Amino acid sequence: MKEVFHEAVTELDRGHPVVVATVVHTKGSTPQKPGAKLLVRDDGTGVGTLGGGCVEGDIWFAAKELLANGGGPQMRDYILNEDLAAQDGLVCGGTMYFLIDPVRSTQEYLNLADEVVRAYEGGMPVAVANLMIPPPGLKLNVGNKLLIRENGTTEGTLGDIQLDEDAVCRARTLMAMGRNEYVISENGAEYFLEAYTTPPTLVIAGGGHVAKALAPIAASVGMRIFIIDDRSDFANSERFPEAERVVVEEFSEGMRTLPINENTFIVIATRGHRYDDSALETAAKTRARYVALLGSKRKTILIAQALLDRGMSADRLRQIRAPAGLDIGGRTPEEIAISIMAEILMFRFGGTGGEMKLEQHQIDRIVGKIETRQRASVTDA
């Protein structure tokens, strides 16, 4: 949501207040997940989305009321029940919780928003904690903020030292990939913790058919793309128009020239065993949490043995995704690329890779409900 913070800075610099509404927590099936944001300007226009429909419309109205009449941050929840479904065609059935946060031109918020924007652009990762429900017995304000930097320094406070320390500790694990967490603390307080870092980056070592199929899929989900190959015919902007940078160099040397952090995903897909071996060894020494090797299990075993012989730890070897991708049965470069991207997204968002279809007992319940209704209809007739 870089655009929301960027726009907040722009509007506040002009002396215009804004309201930033954020999805902080969800239960069940919802049209947006935690972290979705909507900025409402004082002229009624906005940036971002909370999922559309009457819920967003209601929050938009509340934001304009706060801008017109004043007031502090609010927490609101909406149950996406049958009434809402009738209005907007929502068939989600979950509950959404929002922070509606009026922001006026204070230096504290400008500093916070500036640091978030810089984190998106390659600066130090940061996290922001917002107090949602104060602990019993303490008169704290909803929307109290704590900015947490990667080096552990902070600005602001949630209003309680224990909460601040807890947020700093939790933020360390969220910053690597820009994740968020809704926290219910031991003292009864609740806060939303959201981390910000550079956009996820995909480094592909090898410019072959799978790489060519993988790059546009990665671009479509908002990833920055870097391509490395030692052959200019396979590493050029015409072949990879989606790439932010194309490096024509030996794989290991090329990888060392790239800005690789914990939010980087590296796929080794070179043209041969020897190149895979050296590229994978270099990739494994970077900060990237996701490193994958394209190829057969036999090739993976041979390379794994060689890397262990050269001193790679067994723990690091276990972290490598090899062979790359989820087992979807694909064979073509395009199908393999989808398999790899599915695994990357699963890893990034903490998914399981399992099926999402209804379980048998849910199907049985639906069938039973319909059969009961049909029997009742026949009896009434």
| AA identity, residue 35 | G
Give domain limits for the chain.
1-105, 108-198, 201-349
Indicate the CATH number for domain 201-349. Answer: 3.40.50.720
Identify which has the larger pLDDT, 268 or 60. 268
Nearest to 317 by CA among 268, 280, 348: 280
Is the pLDDT assigned to residue 85 strictly greater than 60?
no
pLDDT higher than 80, residue 83: no
Q: Are 304 and 322 in contact (CB under 8 A)?
A: yes
Helix axes 209-220, 333-349, angle to 10 degrees: 40
Q: Report pLDDT digits (tens) over 92-138.
A: 557 889 999 999 877 888 889 999 999 988 888 999 999 999 999 88
Mean pLDDT value across residues 336-365? 92
pLDDT at 89: 47
Query: What type of residue sits at position 102?
Result: P
Question: What would the pLDDT profile of 171-204 be if each residue is shown by its tens digit?
Answer: 998 998 889 999 999 889 999 999 999 889 999 9
Q: CB pairs under 8 A, 24+ apart, for 321-329? A: 321/290, 321/291, 321/292, 321/293, 321/347, 322/280, 322/292, 322/293, 322/295, 323/293, 323/294, 323/295, 323/296, 323/297, 324/267, 324/268, 324/269, 324/292, 324/293, 324/294, 324/295, 325/292, 325/294, 326/353
Return the percentage of the chain with pLDDT > 90, whole number. Answer: 68
Show the tokens assigned to 136.
Answer: 């019993």
Helices (H), 79-160: 82-88, 107-120
**220 burial class (0-12, 13-18, 19+ CB within 10 angstroms)?**
exposed
Q: Find the mean pLDDT for residues 154-158.
A: 95
Q: What is the pLDDT of residue 91?
A: 46
The average pLDDT across 354-360 equals: 89
d(CA 160, CA 321): 42
Say yes or no to pLDDT of 358 above 90: no
The per-residue pLDDT for range 27-66, each reduced to its tens digit, is 877 777 899 999 999 898 999 988 767 788 888 889 999 9
Both tokens of 91, joined, read 């068939």
Query: Which stretch of DSSP H or E encloses residue 148?
Result: strand 145-149
Helix axes 107-120, 2-13, angle to 10 degrees: 140
Question: How sure is the predictor about 86, in pLDDT bands with cuts at 50, 70 and 90?
Answer: very low
pLDDT exceeds 60 at position 87: no
Q: Which residue has the higher pLDDT, 298 or 378?
A: 298
pLDDT at 88 over 50: no
Residue 375's CB is within 10 A of a number of other CB atoms, namely 10
Q: What is the pLDDT of residue 93?
A: 59
**pLDDT tens column, 201-252:** 999 999 999 999 999 999 999 899 999 999 999 999 999 999 999 999 999 9
At residue 78, the pLDDT reads 83
Residue 248, Cβ density class (10 Å: 0-12 exposed, 13-18 middle, ≥19 buried) = middle
Q: Which of 141-155, 326-340, 363-377 has the lowest mean pLDDT?
A: 363-377
pTM of the model: 0.74
